[in-house]
Structure 1
Amino acid sequence: MSFSRGDSAHDFVARCFYFWLPVVDGLLLLFYGITGERGQLVAPWFDQEWTRWIGVACMVVALIWVICAQATMGTAWRMGVDTRTRTELITTGPFALSRNPIYLGIRATILSQLLVVGTWPVMVIWAMSELLVQIQVRFEEEHMFRLHAQRYADYCSRVRRWI
């Protein structure tokens, strides 16, 4: 993990995205799991069994996608911006389709969770996750430009941020 208790925007966003959001999400899912209480749904179609099955299927695909992307990164894998270690630029596997395949998988997982649970608190978690991931990705892309310069610029011209 590459974030500290510092007061920078990078550290704050990283703490929110990598620590606080998963803690709140985990506690909410634990509550749902223990009580069986879902609360008020965002929309009536979230109460359909087919919606939940689509969510489960998407979660499975997203998990496999994230595992493949992390395996492709090998020793270059980091959480957050690590300015102390020079890592190689990974452009193969899922990285040939998306510059941020791990974050894409995380986005798909949280959206899938919304399809499965469908409540307002999960909608808020999804919205916060979307905001934080957009900021975090931009911090990491700035770092990659500093680290790999023209090679990263060329990669960006070939591969989209998401898909």
Structure 2
Amino acid sequence: MGYFAITTLILVIIMVLSRVAILRVKGIEAMKFGEMDKKDYIAIPFVLLYFYIVLTSVIDLPALGTVLFKSMVVSWIGIACCTLGFIIFLFSLIAFGKSFRVGIDENHPDELVTSGVFSISRNPIYTAFLFILIGVFLIIPNWILLLYFVVGFWFINRQVRREEDSLEKIYGNEYKEYCKKVRRYL
């Protein structure tokens, strides 16, 4: 089951990098990570450690942390969460179109996307990430991965609030009206 968690994470990364590359070919610079706040780069070693912990659950490398419990039912719930997160992520990328950015882009914003999964959640990509994080934890119930979920939720919520401030500045009343109709997550 750990292979499912690894595969989900790798596919999400491939999808993001592919979208960034496709947009670059179209003349759109979608990689804006860390441009507004250099502290964003602090997350990179923690993300690499996360991948290491997940990877060590299925291959023979020194593992970090201990397993909290073993349950096939809980693992299947984790697979369902990862699958749901992956589907939400895929539909988010489709709905985003050329407006997709990694990070905040106040200098070259595209249109405000409010259709597709964005009519259900203002932040479907972050919602997808949260489903994947909890799913990976349920598949690999390592106490460090639980900590990652908790800290990940805090980090995602912090980023969402920063983006909301930026979107309100860029789109004004259009964004405020959208916020009245659609929830932040689900």
How high is the TM-score relative to the length of structure 1?
Answer: 0.87
Q: Which residue of 1 aligns with 2:67?
A: 41
Given that 1:32 and 1:38 are in contact with CA atoms closer than 8 Å, whether structure 2 keeps it comes out as: no
Q: Which residue of 1 aligns with 2:73?
A: 50
Deviation at 1:150, TM superposition (A): 0.2
**Residue of structure 2 aligned with 1:89, choices 78, 92, 112:** 112
Whole-angstrom distance in 2 between the partners of 1:35 and 1:48: 21
Whole-angstrom distance in 2 between the partners of 1:39 and 1:159: 39
Deviation at 1:64, TM superposition (A): 1.1
**1:74 partnered with 2:97:** yes
Whole-angstrom distance in 2 between the partners of 1:95 and 1:150: 17
Equivalenced residue count is 155
Q: Which residue of 2 aligns with 1:15?
A: 41
Given that 2:53 and 2:64 are in contact with CA atoms closer than 8 Å, whether structure 1 keeps it comes out as: no
How high is the TM-score relative to the length of structure 2?
Answer: 0.77
Secondary structure of the corresponding residue to residue 34 of structure 1: coil
Q: How do 1:2-151 and structure 2 match up within 5 A?
A: 2-4=32-34, 10-12=37-39, 14-17=40-43, 19-35=44-60, 39-42=65-68, 44=69, 47-151=70-174
CA RMSD of aligned residues (A): 1.9
Whole-angstrom distance in 2 between the partners of 1:48 and 1:38: 20
The share of aligned pairs that are identical, in percent, is 25
Moved >4 Å (runs of 4+)? 36-39
Distance 1:52 1:38, change over 3 A: farther
Relative contact order higher in (CA < 8 Å, ≥ 6 apart): 1
The one-letter amino acid of 1:27's match is Y
The one-letter amino acid of 1:83's match is E
Single out whichever of 117-126 and 20-29 deviates more from structure 2.
Answer: 20-29
Whole-angstrom distance in 1 between the partners of 2:46 and 2:180: 32
Deviation at 1:39, TM superposition (A): 4.9
Whole-angstrom distance in 1 between the partners of 2:144 and 2:60: 15
Deviation at 1:38, TM superposition (A): 7.9
- Gaps of at least 5 residues in structure 2 are 1-30
- Gaps of at least 5 residues in structure 1 are none
